[in-house]
Chain A
Amino acid sequence: MQELRDLARKLFQERKIDALLGYECDRRGVRPAFVKAADECDRLIFDQRCVHNLAAYLSPRRSHVVALGRLAVVIKSCDARAVAGLIRENQLKREDVVLIGVRCGGVVLNPDEPGELESRNTAPRCVGCEQREPALADHIVGEPKTAPAGNQDRDARLSEIESMNLDERLGLWVDLLSRCTRCHACRQVCPMCFCERCVADKTLPAWIESSPHSRGNFAWHLTRALHLAGRCVDCGECERACPAEIPLGLLNRKAARIVSARYGYTVTDDPSKPAPIGTYRLDDGQEFME
Chain B
Amino acid sequence: MSKRRFLSKPDLGPFVLDLIGSGARVIAPVRRLERGRDFIEYRQVRDPNDIVLGGPLPVRPLKEIVFPPTETLFRWRQAKSLIEIEESPTSFEETVIVGATPCDAAALEIVDHVMGWDYKDELWFGRRQATAVLAVACTQCDESCFCTAVGLSPQSTRGADWFLTPSKEGFEIEVLTPKGELLLERHDTRCPEASGSPAARASQVADKVQANLKMQPGKIRSWLERHFEDPLWKDIALRCHGCGACAFSCPACHCFDIMDEPEGMEGGSRRRNWDACQPALFTLHGSGHNPRKDQTARFRQRIMHKFNIYPARFGEVLCSGCGRCIRVCAAGMDLIGILSEIGHRAEEAESAL
Contacts and interface: CB of A to CB of B under 8 A. Distances in A.
Do A and B touch (CB < 8 Å)?
yes
B59 A27 contact: no
Interface string B275-287: 0100101000000
Nearest to B294: A64
Interface in B108-147: 143-144
Contact of A64 (B35, B60, B237, B324): B237
Interface in A224-241: 237, 239-241
A149 to B, nearest CB: 16
Given A210-B257, A239-B35, A32 B59 contact: no
Given A29-B332, A185-B330, A209-B261, A34 B238 contact: yes
A240 B241 CA distance: 13
28 contacts: A26-B337, A27-B336, A28-B143, A28-B144, A31-B331, A32-B332, A34-B238, A52-B331, A64-B238, A64-B295, A179-B41, A181-B64, A181-B69, A181-B248, A183-B243, A183-B244, A183-B247, A184-B244, A184-B279, A185-B328, A189-B243, A189-B331, A210-B273, A211-B271, A213-B70, A241-B241, A245-B34, A245-B39
A34 B248 contact: no
A48 to B, nearest CB: 16
Contacts of B242: 188
Contacts of B60: 179, 181, 243-244
Given A30-B332, A32-B239, A240-B330, A183 B248 contact: yes
For the side of the interface on B, what is the size category?
35 or more
Contacts of A245: 32, 34-35, 37, 39, 59
A247 B35 contact: yes
Interface string B79-98: 00000000000000000000
B225 interface: no
Given A181-B64, A182-B69, A184-B244, 8 more contacts: A28-B144, A183-B249, A185-B245, A185-B330, A206-B259, A211-B271, A239-B35, A241-B328
Contacts of A210: 257, 259, 273
Interface of A: 26-32, 34, 52, 56, 63-65, 68, 109, 111, 179, 181-185, 187-189, 201, 206, 209-213, 216, 237, 239-247
A182 B326 CA distance: 19
B193 interface: no
A189 B330 contact: yes
Nearest to A120: B36
Contact of A212 (B39, B70, B238, B279): B70
B346 to A, nearest CB: 19
Given A26-B337, A183-B276, A184-B279, A64 B245 contact: no
A281 to B, nearest CB: 36
Interface in B250-271: 257, 259, 261, 271
